[in-house]
Amino acid sequence: MISILLFILLLIALYVFIGVGTLKQHFNNPESTKYQYSGCYNDKSNDLALPVYKGEVETPAECALKAIENNSTFFGLQNASGNNKLTKNPMCFLSESGNLSVEYDKHGESDKCVTLNTNTYGTQNVNAVYKILNSEEIEIQENLKKKLSTNAAIIASGGTTNEGCSFNPKAISGGFGTRLACKDYCRNNDNNKLFGGALCSESHCENICNKCEDNLFCRWLSEPILTENEKIPKPIVLEYKIQDSEVLLLWEKPNSIDAISHYSVVITDPNNPDKFEVEIQPNVKDDFVEHNILNLNPMNIYHVEVYSRNKYGYSGTSNKVEVQTRYVSGNGYNSPVPYNTYEDNQEEMQKMIIEIREIIKKKIYEKNIRDGNVDISDPLDILVQDKVRDENVKDKHSLDVFFNEK
């Protein structure tokens, strides 16, 4: 039963490969002029898709000969009529001489073509488009037809065939940098006519590329193994400008092997080091980023650092800048409220708070080691000190998060 089904599927593949109609429709023309039906497309009399008119003809073969004489790659038949047989001869239109980039489909597909006497014709303002095949295309089609016929015969006799797609990444000059590029090349209709055409299904192409073991042609196999520090974004180089009681931060988008999801701006008051604020900058599209820090007190000193994040984690800290806001006369400091506080996104805010706390804990621990406040000789002492440190961070450090899109 399975063999019968496979036999039927191969026959269908052969039928589809040849195109709509019959083998006679596509290859009954003279041996020196082979053409293939490409499809049915709308046309406009004031904007012809195939601009060269060659009068009326009786068969596609006649129009094909005119296309050969004019050095045209495509020809179309339109304005035909009839029920069981042709009662009005079609008009023959050709692409411009020597033009290989023909927009015969620029007015869209149509379902107004008719098949009469095993040939397909377009009706009024509709082209049945055919392509003149060159010698290479004729050879490819003949070889593929033989392959399909052979596979069908093997299945009919109870045997099994190979997958039918002979794509080999090592046979392509230059090879491929990624598996996706390899699979896409195999699936592309302009390429796969050389090694199986419609038989190169997505699963077949993916399987072939996955089995490639040649680093020279399948270069993704030799990708370097990155360390954790190499996966995260590079540290930001931070600059700033003072604008009254606001601070405008400026930085260039850092290098990252993966897309950056957002930036975190950490603001600390040196006079109150146990409290810090975090503003989120979601603008990750621009190569040069500007960020306004809002709600700062006038005539005050702040320390500012910026982190970027991708799917692997946070970058190292940027250079720390020390800024002093200016005095504001009149009613004093009157900064607008944060542009967007994302008050409805509590889950995202809590996640951000946890991640920033971890960064702060690590920095405090490293500072304590440098200052000699951690005895690293006794593992038990380290565990006790870690617990105390975590409690201090939790109890003494308050964290405010602002999402700022300005």
Per DSSP, the residues of 304-365 read: EEEEEEETTEEPPP---EEEEPPP--TT---PPPPS---TT-HHHHHHHHHHHHHHHHHHHH
CB contact burial 131-158 (16+ within 10 A = b; e otherwise) = bbbeeeeeebbeebeebbeebbebbeee
At residue 406, the pLDDT reads 43
Residues linked to residue 275 through DSSP beta bridges, in sequence order: 398
Parse the chain into domains and list their residue ranges. 2-137, 162-222, 230-403
Please check whether residue 104 is in contact with residue 70, taking contact to mean a CB–CB distance below 8 angstroms. Answer: no
SS3 label, residue 118: coil
Please check whether residue 152 is in contact with residue 10, taking contact to mean a CB–CB distance below 8 angstroms. Answer: yes
Of 46-60, 84-98, 151-165, 258-272, which gets the smallest average pLDDT?
151-165
What number is the average pLDDT over the span 308-325? 88
Of 202-206, 240-244, 362-366, which gets the smallest average pLDDT?
362-366
Whether residue 65 is predicted with pLDDT greater than 90 in this model: the reply is yes
Distance between CA atoms of residues 363 and 380, nearest Å = 21
Whether residue 2 is predicted with pLDDT greater than 60 in this model: the reply is no
Whether residue 333 is predicted with pLDDT greater than 50 in this model: the reply is no
At residue 9, the pLDDT reads 55
Whether residue 194 is predicted with pLDDT greater than 50 in this model: the reply is yes
Looking at the chain, the whole-number percentage of residues with pLDDT higher than 70 is: 66
At residue 174, the pLDDT reads 78
At residue 181, the pLDDT reads 84
Q: State phi, psi for 159 to the nearest 5 degrees.
A: -90, -175
At residue 384, the pLDDT reads 53
Please check whether residue 78 is in contact with residue 125, taking contact to mean a CB–CB distance below 8 angstroms. Answer: yes
* Residue-averaged pLDDT of the chain: 75
Beta-strand pair 398-403/126-132? unpaired
Whether residue 18 is predicted with pLDDT greater than 50 in this model: the reply is no
Locate 75 and state its tokens: 């020809």
At residue 125, the pLDDT reads 93
Please check whether residue 179 is in contact with residue 209, taking contact to mean a CB–CB distance below 8 angstroms. Answer: yes
Give the sign of the dihedral formed by CA 120, CA 123, CA 126, CA 132. Answer: positive
Note the Cα 21 to chain centre separation in Å.
Answer: 36
pTM confidence score:
0.36
What number is the average pLDDT over the span 124-153? 77
Helical ranges in 102-251 per DSSP H: 135-156, 179-187, 189-192, 202-210, 228-231
**Looking at residue 215, what DSSP letter applies?**
T
328 compared with 64, residue with greater pLDDT = 64
> Nearest to residue 48, comparing CAs of 130, 114, 107?
107
At residue 95, the pLDDT reads 93
| CATH 3.40.50.2000 corresponds to the domain 230-403 | no
What number is the average pLDDT over the span 359-382? 60
At residue 277, the pLDDT reads 79
Distance between CA atoms of residues 315 and 310, nearest Å = 8
Note the Cα 192 to chain centre separation in Å.
Answer: 21
What number is the average pLDDT over the span 41-45? 92
Q: State phi, psi for 360 to the nearest 5 degrees.
A: -65, -40
Distance between CA atoms of residues 302 and 192, nearest Å = 62
Distance between CA atoms of residues 124 and 317, nearest Å = 69
Looking at the chain, the whole-number percentage of residues with pLDDT higher than 90 is: 19
Whether residue 267 is predicted with pLDDT greater than 70 in this model: the reply is yes
Confidence of residue 341 (pLDDT cuts 50, 70, 90): very low
